[in-house]
Structure 1
Amino acid sequence: MRTPTETMTAYFEGWQRHDAESLRDVLADDVVFDGPMGHVEGVDDNVKSLHGLLSIVTDVTIRQVFADGPDVCTIYDLHTTETDAPMLTVNWAHVVEGRARTIRAIFDPRPLVG
């Protein structure tokens, strides 16, 4: 079984490959995502949402990963086709039995909606 850090590494590797379907392997069936742009529940709806997001993502540059037991905090630059500069983003995930159960994204959404 993957450690929480390995789980979230696999999650972001899927982002970098633009492979939303591969994320089913690291998301719990009842995963809940919360962020400035919305709330999504369940693996199917999360994968569907990630398909949309990954269509505008050009790169993910991981700056730092911190782990404390089942919680993993990933700080990264999110590069998109919709923004001139990368968006500094923090992703806080709670991982249970090798799958992310909750994910919270924290970033300033103004470049995307403004």
Structure 2
Amino acid sequence: MRTPAETMTAYFEGWRRHDAESLRDVLADDVVFDGPMGHVEGVDDNVTSLHGLLSIVTAVDVKHVFVDGPDVCTVYELHTTETDAPMLTVNSAHVVDGRARTIRAIFDPRPLLGM
């Protein structure tokens, strides 16, 4: 079984490969995602949402990873086709049995909204 850090490393490696389907292996069936652009529940809807997001992602540059037991906080720069500059993002995940159960992304969505 993966550690929480290994789980979230695999999650972001899937992003880097633009492979949303591989994320089924690291997301719990009842995973809940919350972020400035929406709320998504369940592995199927999360993978569908990630297909859309990964279509605009050009790079993910992880800066820091902090682990506290089952909780992993990843600070990264998200590069997209929709923004001129990378978006500083914080991702907080709670991992149970090698799968992310909750994920919360924190970032300023204004560049994606054309503001």
- Return the TM-score normalized by structure 2: 0.99
Corresponding residue for residue 32 of structure 2:
32
Q: Which runs of no fewer than 5 residues in structure 1 stay unpaired?
A: none
Corresponding residue for residue 4 of structure 1:
4
Question: SS of the residue aligned with 1:92?
Answer: strand
Corresponding residue for residue 18 of structure 1:
18
Corresponding residue for residue 57 of structure 2:
57
Corresponding residue for residue 108 of structure 2:
108
User: RMSD of aligned C-alpha atoms?
Assistant: 0.3
Structure 1 segments of 4 or more deviating over 3 A? none
- Cα distance in structure 2, aligned partners of 1:113 and 1:46: 21
User: How much does 1:33 deviate?
Assistant: 0.1
Corresponding residue for residue 99 of structure 1:
99
Question: SS of the residue aligned with 1:113?
Answer: coil
Corresponding residue for residue 68 of structure 1:
68
User: How much does 1:101 deviate?
Assistant: 0.1
- For residues 42-90 of structure 1, the C-alpha deviation after alignment (integer angstroms, 9 at most, x for no partner) is 0000000000000000000000000000000000000000000000000
- Cα distance in structure 1, aligned partners of 2:6 and 2:66: 12
> Identity of counterpart residues, as a percentage?
88
Corresponding residue for residue 84 of structure 1:
84
Across the two proteins, how many residue pairs are aligned to each other?
114
User: How much does 1:8 deviate?
Assistant: 0.0
